Amino acid sequence: MAAEKNLVYRCIECSKESRELYRDYKHGVLKITICKSCQKPVDKYIEYDPVIILINAMLCKAQAYRHVLFNTSINIHGKLCIFCLLCEAYTRWLQLPGSSNITDPEDIIRYAKEWDFYRLFGIAALEQTAYLTGVFIVLCLARPKSLHSYSDFALLLKALLLSNYGKLLLIPAVIWEHDYTNLCLRLITLFVLTSNMQAIRVTLNVSRRLSFLAILCGLLFEAALFYIHHEQ
Ligand SMILES: [Zn+2]
């Protein structure tokens, strides 16, 4: 994994800062740095296969989240966000009546349905913005010291967007339609919210209760936008 000398890393066990993840003793001898605070390896995951790290992240392990957020230079949150919104829009679009039986490319209904897709993408983006606004408001009020610079906001936003990766499962859940599709969609939502909670906890080192409250406020903002949209 990326390890530039001048960057500050974090111990994945206790979240204390560390200047390095490993030391190079030359002649091919590398030694993982031990954390001065908890006496455990600063980041054991630098030796792990990415698949193992992904499985640990899916199990919502705080250590895996810290590894990805603090000790790697993964920078795909923007693209992932767009892709997750596309997945959400596509899922909603497929659930519209008559979306799946459009065959004639000249059919004017096809263009109307395409417009529906863009409209649903816009709504999904607005709902995501409302959700994030709710989360940020609670955290800014409860922990103003943790969120006082642009980089703090950027890191939290990155953590939240990355932890939305579970939304990618929406596509297979809808395409392989069966009796339990609705249950699958609910479970995916629950998984994404749990991942979001863990991302907040790890980024700001806050309690489960506060991160739960932030998620709840985010959902309230999202629901408020939904009702405003449907009232019109
Ligand atoms: Zn430590």
Tens-digit pLDDT profile for residues 99-136: 655 555 566 666 677 888 899 999 999 999 999 999 99
| 73 Cα to the center of ligand 1, angstroms | 20
| Amino acid occupying residue 175 | I
- 117 and 208 Cβ atoms separated by less than 8 Å: no
| 35 Cα to the center of ligand 1, angstroms | 5
| 60 Cα to the center of ligand 1, angstroms | 19
- Domain that includes residue 87, residue range: 77-231
- 163 and 202 Cβ atoms separated by less than 8 Å: no
Of the listed ranges 1-5, 63-67, 107-111, 217-221, the least confidently predicted one is 1-5
| 146 Cα to the center of ligand 1, angstroms | 20
Of 71, 95, 112, at which residue does a domain stop? 71
| 69 Cα to the center of ligand 1, angstroms | 16
In a domain, 32, yes or no: yes
Same domain, yes or no: 117 and 27: no
How far apart CA 227 and CA 214 sit, in angstroms, is 20
Residue 2 has pLDDT above 50, yes or no: no
Which element (helix H / strand E) includes 22? strand 22-24
Side-chain-side CA neighbours of 34 within 13 Å: the count stands at 4
| 198 Cα to the center of ligand 1, angstroms | 18
In a domain, 4, yes or no: no
Q: What is the mean pLDDT of the chain?
A: 88
pLDDT at 4: 46
Q: Which residues surround ligand 1, an ion (CB under 5 A)?
A: 11, 13-14, 16, 35, 37-38
| Amino acid occupying residue 103 | T
Q: How many CB atoms lie within 10 A of CB 43?
A: 28
How far apart CA 18 and CA 8 sit, in angstroms, is 6
In a domain, 2, yes or no: no
In a domain, 3, yes or no: no
Burial 174-187 (b: 16+ CB within 10 A, else e): beeeeeeeeebbee
Same domain, yes or no: 140 and 57: no
Same domain, yes or no: 103 and 185: yes
Of 71, 90, 110, at which residue does a domain stop? 71
Same domain, yes or no: 82 and 196: yes
pLDDT at 178: 81
Same domain, yes or no: 109 and 29: no
Same domain, yes or no: 172 and 57: no
| 17 Cα to the center of ligand 1, angstroms | 8
Of 71, 89, 109, at which residue does a domain stop? 71
| 33 Cα to the center of ligand 1, angstroms | 10
In a domain, 128, yes or no: yes
Same domain, yes or no: 51 and 87: no
Q: What is the pLDDT of residues 28-87, one digit of tens each?
A: 788 999 999 999 999 999 999 999 999 999 999 999 999 999 999 888 999 999 999 999
Same domain, yes or no: 203 and 225: yes
- 83 and 166 Cβ atoms separated by less than 8 Å: no
Residue 3 has pLDDT above 50, yes or no: no
Structural domain tally of the chain? 2
